[in-house]
Amino acid sequence: MFSKVLIANRGEIAVRVIRACRELGVATVAVYSDLDRDALHVRLADEAFALGGQTAAESYLDTETILGVIEKSGADAVHPGYGFFSENADFARAITDKGVTFIGPPPEAIEIMGDKISAREAAEKVGVLSVPGSTDLLTDATQVIAFGEEHGWPVAIKAAYGGGGRGMKVAGSADEAEAQLDSARRESQAYFGRDECYMERYLTNPRHVEVQVLADRHGNCVYLGTRDCSAQRRHQKLIEEAPAPAIPDEIIAAMGEAAVKVAKGCDYVNAGTVEFLYEDGGFHYLEMNTRLQVEHPATELITGIDLVEQQLRVAAGETLPFSQVDIEVRGHAIEVRINAEDPSGGAFLPSPGPITSMKTPDGFGTRFDTGYESGDEISQYYDNLIGKLVVWGHDRPTAIARALRALDELEIEGVATTIPADVAILSHPDFAAVTHSTKWVEETLDLSSLVAPRVEGDADTADETPKVKRDLDVEVNGKRFSVSMWVPESAGAAGGAPGRVRRSGSRGGAVGHGSGDVTVPMQGTIVNVIVSVGDEVEIGDPIVILEAMKMENNVNAEKAGTITEIRVAEGDSVGGGDVVAVIE
Ligand code: MV4
């Protein structure tokens, strides 16, 4: 086993990995951005190193700085968590070259699955069926038309280097082929910096079912049951459950075996997830995620297997301690994602800011994984996942009831959360009856009358005093050290005015009133400009779509009038408060 693991991540997943290491007697090294100086993962780790910077690019994604810290810390392994470097083959190679173990799959497997066309070919090679489609790069809409005429419409046009549904467009008929291909290319370019696309028959009402796999370096690979992640909105999962309900045992077994074949076919090692679409009793391979996923705890609760422990063990060269026949699925687990988003009216607007108070649920079968405590702040610069409620019940109705009970106990003040939307899903008869699909939240669930008032905590309970950096020289047992202290501004000799300053956390001035200047609420990327100069708009009409905090957000008109100016194009980076268009 390793002696010291560096966790190249933040938030709940960093905390999750630190806990597993602690139980195995492995020392932990946290890294942190300026904003995360006092974060829970930093508080829990044995050691912590500053990366500097605020945005993910300046901190958790700064390769050179992270590589430097890995060396400085003396860590013999790195756990990437999810996101950030978790599916970056170059990073995996860079640390392996230093003699440090990457706790994840071999870089070659990451590369095969990162390219969605080679990911299709990888399944084809081992006889696992994908959705009917082609592995040719699309150069012309006539290819889409020919495919649609032969296999039937609609046809999905997907980004070859995409993921998460971004850059995916659907052509319903031959006359939509050209426009949808152009649109898919543009969006792929904006998101991924390249525009290669391929196509598949589009399944109109599938469920998203995935299989957890685990492989060691000695050729052993098992599947650990299924998860259903159909309750999602705009490719952001809201609720996941394990096992995928209402699927015959023999289909589950066939899906598991298919997943193991795909994993073995690319010499996979470590934990991974093979995604399928399930429709009309049949399943189709979609792609493989070469990382530990957000929803892994649902699998842990139904199998009793600690996936992070097993990741560490197989990365250290151990043999899997079980084979397929030893794995039993018991009961039912549900994971509820709690995001700092305001779901009022079904809008899901990001809601960063300080968590003035948080009381988490407890009790039989109840687990809450989070990276925050009362007083911590959800930054606009990172993923806005506050935590994950994961419950186990001996059957699905028990798990649903337990999830609702636990959500009732969960109290979060200071930021708006997705809890009301989660409750709406869990208490809906369609969810109970498993008649939902990946379209259900967006097309059937009615969240229009949902009101999630932001619970404003007492501002004085949060530490709102701005801190400043003070450098000091100290001597410890005669040895000189330079230390940096972060002290309240008012405590320093120099510095700003004493006293409390109210942070502009609430909505960041995002929702101006009736202004003709259309501003974006936070930094992000423009993925779509919906209007043109000269268009007439009404209050509430979408003007641009901004991707921020992993979400696509409509930026809407706050007054009616004519668009006189558009200041951005697809793919542009913008900062909070930037004016993107003008209405007169
Ligand atoms: C599809 C599809 C239907 N037909 N491919 C979206 C995310 C990416 N992993 C693949 N996705 C889809 N691919 C074909 N040929 C429908 C989706 C899809 C989806 C998949 C999983 C979970 C949620 C989804 C929501 C919308 C569309």
Is 447 in contact with 259 (CB distance < 8 Å)? no
d(CA 562, CA 25): 64
Residue 240 Cβ < 6 Å to ligand 1: no
Residue 512 Cβ < 6 Å to ligand 1: no
Domain 4-103 has CATH 3.40.50.20: yes
Is 58 in contact with 33 (CB distance < 8 Å)? yes
pLDDT at 501: 34
Q: Above 60 in pLDDT, residue 546?
A: yes
pLDDT at 511: 36
Residue 286 Cβ < 6 Å to ligand 1: yes
Q: Which amino acid is at 311?
A: Q
Cα 467 to averaged position of ligand 1 atoms, centre (Å): 45
pLDDT at 509: 34
What dotted CATH number matches 132-201? 3.30.1490.20
What are the tokens at 245?
A: 């309900």
Residue 203 Cβ < 6 Å to ligand 1: yes
Q: What is the mean pLDDT of the chain?
A: 92
**What's the burial of 31, exposed, middle or buried (CB within 10 Å: 0-12/13-18/19+)?**
buried
More confident residue, 499 or 454: 454
d(CA 419, CA 404): 10
**Position in ligand 1 atom list of the atom nearest CA 164:** 7
φ/ψ bin of 53: left (φ > 0), alpha (ψ from -120 to 50), beta (otherwise)? left
pLDDT at 465: 67
| Structure confidence by residue, pLDDT tens digits, 118-146 | 999 999 999 999 999 999 999 999 999 99
**What is the side-by-side strand order in the sheet with 573-574?**
551-556, 542-548, 524-529, 573-574
Ligand 1, atom 19: closest residue by C-alpha: 438
More confident residue, 454 or 336: 336
Counting ligand 1 atoms within 8 A of each CB, the residue from 438, 444, 550 with the most, and so the one to mutate, is 438
Task: Using alpha carbons, select from 82, 110, 84, 83 the residue that is nearest to residue 96.
Answer: 110
- Per-residue exposure over 68-106, b if at least 16 CB sit within 10 Å of its own CB, e if not: ebbeebebbbbbbbbbbbbbbbebbebbeeeebbbbbbb
Ligand 1, atom 8: closest residue by C-alpha: 165
| Structure confidence by residue, pLDDT tens digits, 241-288 | 999 999 999 999 999 999 999 999 999 999 999 999 999 999 999 999
pLDDT at 164: 75
Range with the poorest average pLDDT among 197-206, 325-334, 453-462: 453-462
Q: Which amino acid is at 242?
A: A
Cα 575 to averaged position of ligand 1 atoms, centre (Å): 30
Range with the poorest average pLDDT among 181-190, 229-238, 316-325: 181-190
d(CA 311, CA 330): 22
pLDDT at 489: 74
Range with the poorest average pLDDT among 71-80, 272-281, 525-534: 525-534
Residue 261 Cβ < 6 Å to ligand 1: no
Residue 562 burial (CB count, 10 A): 14
Q: Which amino acid is at 519?
A: T
Residue 202 Cβ < 6 Å to ligand 1: yes
Residue 299 Cβ < 6 Å to ligand 1: no
Secondary structure of residue 252 in the 3-state scheme: helix
Residue 33 Cβ < 6 Å to ligand 1: no
Residue 235 Cβ < 6 Å to ligand 1: yes
Cα 203 to averaged position of ligand 1 atoms, centre (Å): 8
**Position in ligand 1 atom list of the atom nearest CA 204:** 3
Q: What is the DSSP letter of 141?
A: H
Ligand 1, atom 17: closest residue by C-alpha: 165
Instruction: For tokens 């190679």, name the residue.
Output: 93
d(CA 246, CA 259): 19
Continuous segment of H or E residues that includes residue 583: strand 579-583
Q: Above 90 in pLDDT, residue 190?
A: no
Is 468 in contact with 485 (CB distance < 8 Å)? no
pLDDT at 281: 95
d(CA 458, CA 460): 5
* Most distant pair of Cα atoms in the chain: their distance: 81
| Structure confidence by residue, pLDDT tens digits, 470-525 | 888 777 766 677 788 888 776 654 433 333 333 333 333 333 347 899 998 888 89
d(CA 249, CA 251): 5
Ligand 1, atom 11: closest residue by C-alpha: 165
> What are the helix and strand counts (H, E) for the chain?
15, 33
Residue spans of alpha helices (H) in 376-493? 396-409, 419-426, 429-433, 440-443
Domain 207-443 has CATH 3.40.30.10: no
Q: What is the DSSP letter of 519?
A: E
Over pLDDT 90: what percentage of the chain?
A: 79
What are the tokens at 405?
A: 């009970």
d(CA 165, CA 272): 19
Query: Where along the chain do its domains lie?
Result: 4-103, 132-201, 207-443
Cα 286 to averaged position of ligand 1 atoms, centre (Å): 8
pLDDT at 464: 55
